[in-house]
Structure 1
Amino acid sequence: MWANKSLQGINRRVFGVVRGERVRHSSGNADAYNARNDTKNETQNIAKDISESAGGRETKRSRGPVVTEEQMKNWREHPEAWRSKLSVFTAGSGNRGILELLAASSTKLTRIWRLRHEYSERLAQQMMPTSHNQMGADLAAANFLYHRGAKIKFARHENWMLKSDKTNKTILPMRFENGWVLEKIDCKTMIKGGMRYEGLDNLSKLRSLTWISLKGNKFIDDWGVDKLTSITYKNLEYLNLAECNITYRGLIALWKIEPLKMLVLSSKIESKEVDIVCSMLEETNPKLLIQFE
């Protein structure tokens, strides 16, 4: 319809130009030249208008209707359509960077969580002087180990005590009582990774401790062995350090434990340095037997 109206208007202009030319020719030869020039100019303008009108119409047809981004968004997101809660992290929401940051830092967050967990466990294993004053060294150490899953045995008691053992009806006193002398300790079954360096302070002042196993306690390193030898060197006869995080440097400190008769180590740490240290320990203490497993 628009094209028809445009062509009709152009036809009227052309018809008017031709009619005006006839009128000017009839008036005389003087005005003929001017009429022809006016007709030529008008014809060129009409041809230009036709070209522009046709070109503009073709351009509009090739481009098609213009749709804004807002209209497309309204079409995609119907007001009654269901939307997920994760849509806040889409590209246009401005919050996608938060999701990318969380994905990139997941490893760091896991490491921070592990460090906090380890720090809290180290604090929990620190010796409490009030407990030692209230219960004595043996009962305080026994309660510390028993409630963390370790096996303990008292002198003049036939059976080992383990918290997970439901058949054991023995109840540890919470105050000092005579007859409770801690003699043997097995830390292999301790929860939360086992004994830490800070927890070794609970074994101090155990005058009758003769047997201790730290097998599988990965947090016991060379520093832990050195600390252990300084607090349990008087009567200790058996020591198991298999699967601990120790080297030949930690083994050197075992010369302090003169009553030691049996030392169990992991075969994974065997090396020339370990063999040399073991030879020195056996030479210093002829009663010592070193076994690898």
Structure 2
Amino acid sequence: MSVNPIRHHLMKNASKITRSNFRRNIYTSVIDMKEKEKWTQHEEKWDRPKEEWNSFFHYFAPKKGISVEVIRTLQMPIDFSPKKVKKWYENLKERKAIIDQRYIEERVTAVGCELAAAHFIVHRGGKILKRGSSEWIERDEDMEYDLPRHFTPGFYVECIDASGFQLRYEGLETIGNLEYLKWLDVSNSEYIDDWCIDRICGQYANTLEYLNLSNCTGISERGFSALARLKKLKTLDVSGLDSIDNVKFLCVLLEDVIPDINIIGIDYMEFPTLEEKQI
């Protein structure tokens, strides 16, 4: 049976066109489905209705929308009164001070616990005395001080005077793990509280011989009682702590627990006279 060559040519080309169009349609359909899925996910992610106009910033909105509290806060007028500005500035300084005294593991790893504590104290206006030396190390007028910049075997901090700045609980963590610390002055710090006393007593219960807590008004009766853990304590300065409840009685108990202790700054043995009792 003879085949018409023209018909054969048309059928052959039609077959190719059909297959080509079919593949193109399949490819286009897949691309369209992926694009549609992507934009659908995009719209669901940002929860944006198609018919609603939104500014560019709606892309930063959370999926579930902004809470009522956030909206209420954004609608409140900004208060630039001197009182509010002062409070904001004080909170800013408070956060900065806490960050400044935080424990930095990399610093301790690089120079060791002893040198890390020494740099921390001296850099902030305090003084340290290393073991075997009689000269205090402190910064000069140009903010310079003589301390090793690398780990030095045999360097041990024996005395710390932190009365030159406001030491906090975060700072006590930085000066922890000192092997031979015997002398510690944290006076005049409003941030030394019961938590700080508990940390001091826990870290240096077996080494501390001198402790100055004068004018640390954040200490209460509970924190003062923790001082009984310092078994080797010989001198304790509690000047300006008269506001602590039963402080005189606590001093008597402390002397009973630590017989060799010398408590400075409070006349706890002063009893009322007969005339005062009658009044």
Percent identity over the alignment?
31
> CA 1:268–1:206 in structure 2 vs 1: closer, same or farther (change >3 Å)?
closer
Shift of 1:259: 0.6
Map of 1:37 onto structure 2: none
Shift of 1:197: 1.1
Shift of 1:129: 1.1
Query: Of 212, 216, 221, which residue of structure 2 is paired with 1:244?
Result: 216
What pairs up with 1:141-290 in 2 under 5 angstroms?
A: 141-164=117-140, 171-190=146-165, 194-245=166-217, 246-269=219-242, 273-290=246-263
Structure 1 outlier segments of 4+, above 2 Å: 168-171
Residues in 2 aligned to 1:273 and 1:178: alpha-carbon distance in whole angstroms: 46
* CA root-mean-square deviation: 2.1
Residues in 2 aligned to 1:225 and 1:185: alpha-carbon distance in whole angstroms: 16
> CA 1:169–1:112 in structure 2 vs 1: closer, same or farther (change >3 Å)?
closer
Map of 1:138 onto structure 2: 114
| Contact in 2 for aligned 1:149/1:164 (Cα 8 Å) | no
Residues in 2 aligned to 1:270 and 1:261: alpha-carbon distance in whole angstroms: 23
> CA 1:107–1:203 in structure 2 vs 1: closer, same or farther (change >3 Å)?
same
Map of 1:116 onto structure 2: 92
Shift of 1:158: 1.9
Partner of 1:269, secondary structure, is coil
Partner of 1:244, secondary structure, is coil
| Contact in 1 for aligned 2:221/2:245 (Cα 8 Å) | no
Residues in 2 aligned to 1:247 and 1:180: alpha-carbon distance in whole angstroms: 35
Q: Which residues of structure 2 form unaligned runs of 5+?
A: 1-76, 267-279
| Contact in 2 for aligned 1:247/1:274 (Cα 8 Å) | no
> CA 1:243–1:267 in structure 2 vs 1: closer, same or farther (change >3 Å)?
closer
Deviations 1:127-172 (A, max 9, x none): 1111111111110000011100101111112210110267x98621
Residues in 1 aligned to 2:243 and 2:235: alpha-carbon distance in whole angstroms: 17
| Contact in 1 for aligned 2:216/2:241 (Cα 8 Å) | no
Shift of 1:272: 5.8
Residues in 1 aligned to 2:241 and 2:170: alpha-carbon distance in whole angstroms: 26
| 2:104 corresponds to 1:128 | yes
Partner of 2:84, secondary structure, is helix
| 2:79 corresponds to 1:106 | no
Partner AA of 2:147 in structure 1: L
What pairs up with 1:34-49 in 2 under 5 angstroms?
A: none
| 2:264 corresponds to 1:291 | yes
Shift of 1:179: 2.6
- Superposition TM-score, scaled by structure 1 size: 0.60
Q: Which residues of structure 1 form unaligned runs of 5+?
A: 1-97
| Contact in 2 for aligned 1:183/1:211 (Cα 8 Å) | yes
| Contact in 1 for aligned 2:201/2:230 (Cα 8 Å) | yes
| Contact in 1 for aligned 2:138/2:145 (Cα 8 Å) | no
| Contact in 1 for aligned 2:122/2:145 (Cα 8 Å) | no
Q: Highest Rg: 1 or 2? A: 1
Residues in 1 aligned to 2:184 and 2:141: alpha-carbon distance in whole angstroms: 20
Residues in 2 aligned to 1:170 and 1:146: alpha-carbon distance in whole angstroms: 8
Shift of 1:113: 1.1
What pairs up with 1:59-70 in 2 under 5 angstroms?
A: none
Residues in 2 aligned to 1:268 and 1:221: alpha-carbon distance in whole angstroms: 12
